[in-house]
Structure 1
């Protein structure tokens, strides 16, 4: 698979993502459901802690990707939902560290929501990955 970044402007690069990517030669695609800060039994973790919830949501996303034979470097699109956008942005370095280590800057959207499906959750991340 070959990925080519498309960035008519460079402002998004400073925030850690490309405006678009051209994906060529992919043979498999995985569409992941939204991952949150829950344990293996679906119980919410890190109440009131955005940073902790982002970290666990990313752990859970990586577990799903690993089960599909992929990792964060295969992610081609992210959808992110947060109950407090400002708090999420303050902790976006967690995403930057994880995706930076994978040398990946997938296009993403961050949306503020009034709540998520399970009370107490603050952050949810969904992904599309290709290989």
Structure 2
């Protein structure tokens, strides 16, 4: 007899969050391993800022960098259990949010998330930085 694999319980007392592809909370089985991803942004391999002034492109590249890190340990966005998006421009980030939600949709991922407005990010020209935690 096999034991069923524990599943994530999605907790959503309201539904306004659905369009942003995040759950208010999730109850997950304890992971064996946790991957903590430092802030990822729209930077080239040499650390130079890419897509200055283009929030959608910055958001997309930041998510791409997270996906690359996840892939190195055989994870995907479906394994992410916490996501924080920092931005210097909330309105522009919300307008470009599809750059993130389309990637989440591809994995059926709805990690609890926060969008946080900040005065500045680490490098001049950055408008978006994303941190993530994943587990398995």
Per the shorter chain, which TM-score range?
over 0.9
Structure 1: 5+ residue stretches without partners: none
Q: Residues 37 and 54 of structure 1 are in contact (CA less than 8 Å); yes or no, is this contact kept in structure 2?
A: yes
Deviating beyond 2 angstroms after TM superposition, the runs of 4 or more aligned structure 1 residues are: none
2:118 is the counterpart of 1:113:
yes
Structure 2: 5+ residue stretches without partners: 1-5
* Counterparts of 2:16 and 2:56, CA distance in 1: 24
Q: Which residue of 1 aligns with 2:22?
A: 17
Task: Normalising by structure 1, report the TM-score.
Answer: 0.95
Q: Secondary structure at the match of 2:63?
A: helix
* Counterparts of 2:72 and 2:106, CA distance in 1: 20
Instruction: Give 1:40 deviation, angstroms.
Output: 1.3
What do residues 3-50 of structure 1 show as CA deviations (whole Å, max 9, x unaligned)?
110111111123221000011152111010010000111111001110
Q: Which residue of 2 aligns with 1:71?
A: 76
Q: Residues 2 and 25 of structure 1 are in contact (CA less than 8 Å); yes or no, is this contact kept in structure 2?
A: no
How many residues are paired up?
131
* Counterparts of 1:86 and 1:60, CA distance in 2: 23
Aligned-residue Cα RMSD (Å) equals 1.1
Tell me which of 45, 49, 58 is aligned to 1:53: 58
Larger Rg: 1 or 2? 2
* Counterparts of 2:33 and 2:7, CA distance in 1: 13
Q: Secondary structure at the match of 1:58?
A: helix
* Counterparts of 1:41 and 1:15, CA distance in 2: 32
